[in-house]
Amino acid sequence: MIEVKNLVKKYGDKVAVNNVSFTVNEGEILGFLGPNGAGKSTTMNIITGYLSSTSGTVTIDGCEILDDPKGAKSKIGYLPEIPPLYQDMTVKRYLEFVYDLKRVTLPRKEHLAEVCKVTKITDVYGRVIKNLSKGYRQRVGFAQALIGNPPVIILDEPTVGLDPKQIIEMRNLIRGLGKKHTVILSSHVLSEIQAVCDRIVVINNGQLVADESTEEITTNFTGMKRIQLHIDGNDNTVLMTLRDVDGVTRVRKVMRTIDGFTEYIVESKAENDVRKAIFRAMAKVDCPIVMMRNAEVSLEDAFLRITAGETQVNRKGGR
Amino acid sequence: MSAIYKRELNAYFTSPIAYVVYAVASFFAGLLFVATVLEGDTSDMTYLFRNMTTIIIMMIPILTMKLFSEEKNKKTEQGLLTAPVNLLQIVMGKISAAVTVYALLMVLFIIYALIISFFVTPSWVLIGSNILGLLLFGTTLIAIDTFISSLTESQVIAAILSIGAGLLLTSISMFKNMVDIDFVNDIIDSIEMMGRYENFTLGMVKFSDVIFFLSISVLFIFFTIKVLERRRWN
Residue A282 and residue A198 in one domain: no
pLDDT at B38: 85
pLDDT band at A313 (very low <50, low <70, confident <90, very high): very low
| C-beta separation of A87 from B76 below 8 A | no
* Interchain pair A97, B6: CB under 8 A: yes
CATH classification at residue A244: 3.30.70.1340
Residue A126 and residue A270 in one domain: no
Stronger pLDDT, A279 or A37, i.e. the higher one: A279
Locate the chain A residue with the closest alpha carbon to B6: A97
| Residue B28 backbone dihedrals phi, psi, to 5 degrees | -70, -40
Last residue of a domain, one of A219, A247, A264: A219
Report yes or no on A306 lying in a domain: no
Q: What is the mean pLDDT of residues B92-97?
A: 95
pLDDT in tens, A110-131: 999 999 998 889 999 999 999 9
pLDDT at A237: 84
Min Cα distance A236 → chain B (Å) is 48
pLDDT at B218: 96
Cα distance between residue B219 and residue B225, in whole Å: 10
pLDDT at A312: 42
* Interchain pair A80, B84: CB under 8 A: no
pLDDT at A257: 80
Spell out where chain B has E strands.
Answer: none
Report yes or no on A311 lying in a domain: no
pLDDT band at A315 (very low <50, low <70, confident <90, very high): very low
Please determine, for residue B103, whether its predicted confidence score (pLDDT) is greater than 80. Answer: yes
β-strands A248-256, A224-231: how paired? unpaired
* Interchain pair A49, B10: CB under 8 A: no
Residue A140 and residue A115 in one domain: yes
Cα distance between residue B100 and residue A221, in whole Å: 62
Spell out where chain A has E strands.
Answer: 2-11, 14-24, 29-33, 55-60, 63-64, 76-79, 152-156, 182-187, 199-204, 207-213, 224-231, 248-256, 262-269, 289-295
Residues 6 or more apart in contact with residue B136 via CB below 8 angstroms: B197, B200, B209, B210, B213, B214
Locate the chain B residue with the closest alpha carbon to A99: B3
Report yes or no on A189 lying in a domain: yes
Report yes or no on A303 lying in a domain: no
Domain that holds residue A70: 2-219
Burial B126-159 (b: 16+ CB within 10 A, else e): bbbbbbbbbbbbbbbbbbbbbbbbbbbebbeebb
Q: What is the mean pLDDT of residues B159-173?
A: 90
Residue A175 and residue A202 in one domain: yes
What's the whole-number average pLDDT of chain A? 84
ipTM of the complex: 0.88
Half-sphere exposure of A142 (CA within 13 A, CB side): 27
Domain total in chain A: 2
Closest CB to A102: pick one of B14, B74, B83: B83
Q: Provide the chain A residues 76-115 that lie in CB contact (below 8 A) with chain B.
A: 76, 78, 80, 82, 84-89, 93, 97-98, 100-103
Q: What is the mean pLDDT of residues B56-80?
A: 93
Identify residues of B whose CB sits under 8 angstroms from chain A CBs. 2-4, 6-7, 10-11, 14-15, 74-86, 232-234
Locate the chain B residue with the closest alpha carbon to A48: B82
A14 touches chain B (CB under 8 A): no
CATH classification at residue A50: 3.40.50.300
Show me where the domains of chain B are located. Answer: 2-233
Report yes or no on A196 lying in a domain: yes
Burial A86-95 (b: 16+ CB within 10 A, else e): beebbbebbb
Last residue of a domain, one of A195, A219, A243: A219
Report yes or no on A133 lying in a domain: yes
Residue whose C-alpha is closest to residue B77's, from A58, A315, A82, A61: A82
pLDDT in tens, B6-56: 999 999 999 999 999 999 999 999 999 999 888 888 888 888 888 889 999
What's the whole-number average pLDDT of chain B? 90
pLDDT at A318: 36
pLDDT band at A191 (very low <50, low <70, confident <90, very high): confident
Residue A280 and residue A188 in one domain: no
Residue A87 and residue A121 in one domain: yes
Residue A60 and residue A181 in one domain: yes
Residue A30 and residue A162 in one domain: yes
Report yes or no on A310 lying in a domain: no
Please determine, for residue A309, whether its predicted confidence score (pLDDT) is greater than 70. Answer: no
Strand order in the sheet with A224-231: A248-256, A262-269, A224-231, A289-295
Cα distance between residue A304 and residue A35, in whole Å: 9
Percent of chain A exceeding pLDDT 90 equals 26
Closest CB to A51: pick one of B6, B11, B232: B232
pLDDT at A308: 66
Locate the chain A residue with the closest alpha carbon to B12: A88
Cα distance between residue B21 and residue B11, in whole Å: 14
pLDDT band at B110 (very low <50, low <70, confident <90, very high): very high
Residue A141 and residue A240 in one domain: no
Min Cα distance B1 → chain A (Å) is 8
Residue A259 and residue A175 in one domain: no
Report yes or no on A277 lying in a domain: yes
pLDDT band at A305 (very low <50, low <70, confident <90, very high): low
- Identify all chain B residues contacting A76, using CB atoms and an 8 Å cutoff: 82
pLDDT in tens, B188-223: 878 888 888 888 888 888 899 999 999 999 999 999
Least confident of A170-179, B3-12, B62-71, B170-179: B170-179
Residue A15 and residue A135 in one domain: yes
Residue A261 and residue A189 in one domain: no
pLDDT in tens, A241-275: 888 888 888 888 888 888 888 888 888 877 778 88
Percent of chain A exceeding pLDDT 70 equals 90
